[in-house]
Amino acid sequence: MTTRTLEHIGFIGFGIMGKPMALNLINAGWPLWGYARRAESLQPLLQAGARACASPREVAEHAEIIFTMVADTPDVEQVILGEAGLIHGLRLGSVVVDMSTISASVTRRIAATLAAGGVDMLDAPVSGGETGAIQGTLSFMVGGTDSAFQRVLPLFQAMGKNIVHIGSNGAGQIAKSCNQILVAQTIAGVAEALLFAQAAGADPAKVRQALLGGFAYSKILEVHGQRMLDHQFQPGFKAGLHQKDMRIVQEIAAELKLPLPGTALASQWINAVVANGQGELDSSALLTVLEQMAGVKIGELQG
């Protein structure tokens, strides 16, 4: 790291993704102030050198750049604009970076509210799952001003590898919706292909191995395909959160009067996973819904 004055960093949201991302910032040398609704979520960060705050407002009072990584649109609104929210402690020239996946229209509204007080906002949703968060290889899709983006770029680089400034506020959220459209439909495609192989008498594991070397290769076939073969669905990304993301996509599509039939179908598969009580599992648990419908399970001998 080049010699320079390190800005104090704030971080709110220490879930599957947020905790390793915050740890990567600490390990890169930035002083970090954190707030968590559940104190135990903050413990690994405190052990690494972070300092605890009693509210989002207090985080803003200590930090110049504050990251949020929470579950849904109402959570972001509460953390930033709520009674004890960041807005009450932010100083002129601060930057709020929301890495959650939320509504683009609400992102724009929050950004306008902060801008009126001399505070920049970036929407910077991520892709790459828990593994990418741990390894610091996430993809960032960023919306906001170029000056704020350049200021925060070194921090993004401590957490990710593919960092793209998409455009103005809200553009990062739109890019993330595009990501979720592709991910949901590809998970469904991989599940159908492996189930088809099983039912037709071909070894799904060997079929996957062959496909990994051809034009059908995808990261989802590589990672989620293996999860499906192993029936191991510990979440890299929870199906319940994926359901929320697909709801956001369909709300935007409805506003635009834009038909997205493949997205609508993939959303129903995700809904079925959650309806089966598997919302805390990885989205790749979609396979189990197809298995139930077909009466075929990957790995079982077919009669």
Active site residue 176: yes
101 SS3 class:
coil
Which residue is it, tokens 């609508």?
Answer: 264
Tokens found for residue 13 = 């949201």
**DSSP code for 8:** P
Q: Cβ distance 298 to 202 under 8 Å?
A: no
CA dist., res. 32 & res. 192, Å (int): 44
Residue listed under structure tokens 């807005």:
87
Measure the CA–CA gap between 235 and 274, rounded to whole angstroms.
13
Query: Between vectors from CA 103 to CA 70 and to CA 242, what angle results, nearest 5°?
Result: 60
Q: Is residue 137 a contact partner of residue 128, using CB atoms and an 8 Å limit?
A: yes
| Residue length of the chain | 303
- Tell me how far apart the alpha carbons of residues 32 and 51 are, in angstroms, rounded to a whole number: 6
Query: Which SS3 state, helix, strand or coil, does residue 295 take?
Result: coil
- Measure the CA–CA gap between 35 and 56, rounded to whole angstroms: 6
Closest alpha carbon to 6 in 28, 35, 30: 30
19, 176, 238, 244: the active-site residue: 176
Task: Kindly state the greatest CA–CA separation across the chain.
Answer: 70
- CA–CA dist 178, 260 (Å, integer): 11
Q: Indicate which residues carry an active-site annotation.
A: 176
